[in-house]
Structure 1
Amino acid sequence: MWKSPGFVAVLVAVAAAFGSWSLLLPVVPLAVLNNGGSSALAGATTGIFMAATVITQIFTPAALRKIGYTPVMVFAAFMLGVPAIGYIFSMEPLPVLLVSALRGIGFGALTVAESALIAELVPVRFLGKASGMLGVFIGLSQMLFLPTGLALGDHFGYNVVYILGAVIALVAAVMCMRIPRIKAAAKVAPTVEASSVASEKLEKSVSTWKLVLIPSLAVTSLSMTFGAVSSFLPAAVIELDPGLGAALAGIILSITGGSSMVFRYLSGVITDRRGVPGSTMIPAQIAGLLGVVLIAVTIFESWSVWWLIIGAVMFGGGFGMVQNEALLSMFFRLPRTRVSEASAIWNIAFDAGTGIGSFALGIVAASLAYSGAFGAGALVILLGIVLTVADRILGRYRVTEYNNTRARLRGVRKSTD
């Protein structure tokens, strides 16, 4: 895995880019609230960011084929952080939402490119660990910069955070220039070899959405709640314990990211050993559900703020494993030549959920307080579990496309028999 050309450069570049993102993620909504903005507007800053992200992700696979990974990632890193300087000049609704949308363009291109590039650079047998290691670097970046942004904003003002976010994004752009200059594989029509027809029942191609729908919804169900966690958990912690909460607000977000990092990598290791993804998906969703329920009950009952740490560990761990399981499931079900589409779909599911969750659950928070928002998030995760269980039952009858990872593994087993 480590000998794959450009793998380390990708990890460092992505860590820096997510550092810029993590610095600003909880700071911008909090700055809006501190400047007299509503909870709905605070959530909308993340919502519009993710809306621009999703729109960009739709077009990114075509850009990766036409101009290559390196130019796309350099542009993405620049756009992710540098426009944040615009927050210095105004925190009124229109300027704030415009700057957030510009940054979302960079985030959308980056997230699709980095996941797909890992699948392009690393051999299939190491893909689970490689994807997990990508999560480790992202998680470490979040652990470091999520609390750093809040601490710097509290002690030196938010303008320092905006400038630092722009500088770190430029570092990521420079690192992206060290990535091998390759382009995403062109689309090819699925082919059927006579030997495979003779050796097993004919499998017909089916629509992509049928193969990736349930993994996408699994990610979305938890990322919606993550949108509420990233946007409102710091404010909820401070409201729950004004003294201790100010110190713990950033730390709890850091713990969420750290738990996600560890368990995402663990999920990748398990997948590589089993040779097939999915074994930890449902337990991970259940852990995420229990974590959110604990957060909601703690806030509603005004329990000790320390219970939120346990909830953050459970939610972050479950969320990390679901991320890896869903991405590897898409790589597993789709042809190797379509890894950029798989990455785009996964990222759209992740980021659309985060944006919708921030906006929709922000409205819920305005009406039912923060505990109501997290309770609504728990219901969404529960629905995702139901859908995953149904998919698991029906999966044994699923018809998949040719030339995907599942088909190739079958061919290897048959050739060795």
Structure 2
Amino acid sequence: MLKQQGDGPACREEVPVWRVPGMRPLLASTALGFAGLSLLMPVAPLWALEGGADELGAGLVNTVLMLFTVIAQLLVGRILQRLGWQRSLALGSCLLGLPALGHLATSQAGAVMALAAVRGLGFGILTVCGATGVAALVEPARRGRAVGAYGLAIAAPQCLLIPVAPWLAERVGFWLVFTCAAVPLLAIPLAPRVARALHDSGDVSTAPAEARDTSRLRRVLIGPIAALLVITAAGGAILTFTPRLLSDPVAVYLALLAFTATAALSRWGFGHVADRRGAAPAIAPLLFASAAGLAVIGAGTAGGSGAAGAVLVVAGMLVVGVAYGGLQNLTLVQAFAAAGERARSSVSVAWNVGFDAGTGLGAFAAGAVVTMSSYAVAYAVLAAATALVGACWAGARWRSRGAASRAAPRTL
């Protein structure tokens, strides 16, 4: 028989990660938060365009969102110490959900950006709490699968809602999207259950941080965070501008579905790969695959609005989606493994900052390049940056293996 919850940490090894105490309410809270975010990620920039903004202004909406997400993520440690898990999670849900309704009042670009700033604060709190909570609830040996489950809770709402949100806004009305985007408020009643489970697991994230070797931490995290930055920059550009990339609403839906569905499956599937073989070996290949996919998307946009161009865009989205989902899982698992258990909270903050900074940077950079040139050039720049980081990662792995082989004792 399975041990009961009170029997200690060993009981968690005997049940699937989905059934670890606290995981279900934590994953449900995550899914509700990302549902609200997913509805507005492609639609809030469209709403700013309705209010008279240009492409750069539209890109700035999600850039502001991610800027304030990063600010909140850097403050989550203090927020947890002051408010505790329950009130911190409830605060994040309120800040993410309530401003969605504010879009009903105005489409003026400044107001849309202000609402994005408030949503970013809530999103920042929820993302760091979610990643830290998953790492606290599940032991390191099964962390890849736990991160995969967490990734699926993130990716499933994106898969279901991002492709359909622009269609709903344009065919039914923006009001429907804005009303539904308040769904993170439904996560508030789940906060006490998550907090109770984290307390029972012995989590100490709300305690003052222990002294750490910050130089070593920066050194071991630079590789995973760099990989995360470039892949999320690609994602930020895709999620912000795909509704403007293709003229056919069906093609837009298929492109976004290809991207989000493959990302969802990859986030779950690569969790098992990370547990069995480690996270590091697959990172460079996925970066190179993403660079190829981005180049194909750029070629599709350069080919005009015909069927051939749409096919190339959808095909590129499929490839980038695999890398986008897989790298989100692998970079987080690799960061936890490289930094060690004592740095768990710092890793969670650094990874989430990298994720959202990359997303915001991608939206801003793509918007700026498109304003000055074209979508084809924007995707070419993203492809080049991704390939460069992939080459750096592959080179570092090659040097590490060479050093290990030279250090190994030789036998006659």
Under TM normalisation by the shorter chain, which class is it?
0.7 to 0.9
Check the 8 A contact 1:294/1:308 in 2, yes or no. Answer: yes
* Matched residue count: 378
Q: Does 1:364 align with 2:382?
A: no
Check the 8 A contact 2:26/2:194 in 1, yes or no. Answer: yes
Check the 8 A contact 1:64/1:184 in 2, yes or no. Answer: no
Q: Does 1:224 align with 2:233?
A: yes
Counterpart for residue 251 of structure 1: 254
Structure-2 change in CA distance of 1:145 and 1:378 (3 Å): same
Check the 8 A contact 1:147/1:250 in 2, yes or no. Answer: yes
For 1:51-62, what aligned pairs fall within 5 Å after superposition? 51-62=67-78
Aligned partner (choices 249, 263, 266) of residue 263 of structure 1: 266
Q: Does 1:278 align with 2:280?
A: yes
Structure-2 change in CA distance of 1:211 and 1:65 (3 Å): farther
- CA deviation digits over 1:50-73, x for unaligned, max 9? 100111111113333443333222
Aligned partner (choices 370, 381, 389) of residue 384 of structure 1: 389
Counterpart for residue 93 of structure 1: 109
Amino acid across the alignment from 1:227? G
- Runs (4 or more) in structure 1 with deviation over 6 Å come to none
- CA deviation digits over 1:186-221, x for unaligned, max 9? 43357xxxxxxxxxxxxx985311110111010101
Q: CA RMSD in A?
A: 2.0
Compute the displacement of 1:394 (Å): 4.2
Compute the displacement of 1:148 (Å): 3.0
Inter-partner Cα distance in structure 2 for 1:279 and 1:386: 13
Aligned partner (choices 76, 96, 110) of residue 80 of structure 1: 96
Q: Which moved more, 1:315-324 or 1:31-40?
A: 31-40
- CA deviation digits over 1:40-96, x for unaligned, max 9? 100000001110011111111333344333322221111112112222222222211
Check the 8 A contact 1:65/1:184 in 2, yes or no. Answer: no
For 1:16-415, what aligned pairs fall within 5 Å after superposition? 16-166=32-182, 168-181=183-196, 182=199, 184-185=204-205, 186=207, 187-189=209-211, 206-238=215-247, 245-274=248-277, 276-302=278-304, 303-395=308-400
- SS at the partner of 1:89? coil
TM-score (norm 1): 0.86
- CA deviation digits over 1:349-387, x for unaligned, max 9? 111011111112101011112112111111111121122
Check the 8 A contact 2:50/2:107 in 1, yes or no. Answer: no
Q: Which moved more, 1:31-40 or 1:390-399?
A: 390-399
Inter-partner Cα distance in structure 2 for 1:64 and 1:232: 35
Compute the displacement of 1:396 (Å): 5.4
Counterpart for residue 5 of structure 2: none
Compute the displacement of 1:262 (Å): 1.1
Compute the displacement of 1:395 (Å): 3.9
Inter-partner Cα distance in structure 2 for 1:12 and 1:205: 33
Q: Which runs of 5+ in 1 are unaligned?
A: 191-203, 239-244, 400-417
TM-score (norm 2): 0.87
Compute the displacement of 1:2 (Å): 2.7
Percent of aligned positions with the same letter in both sequences?
28
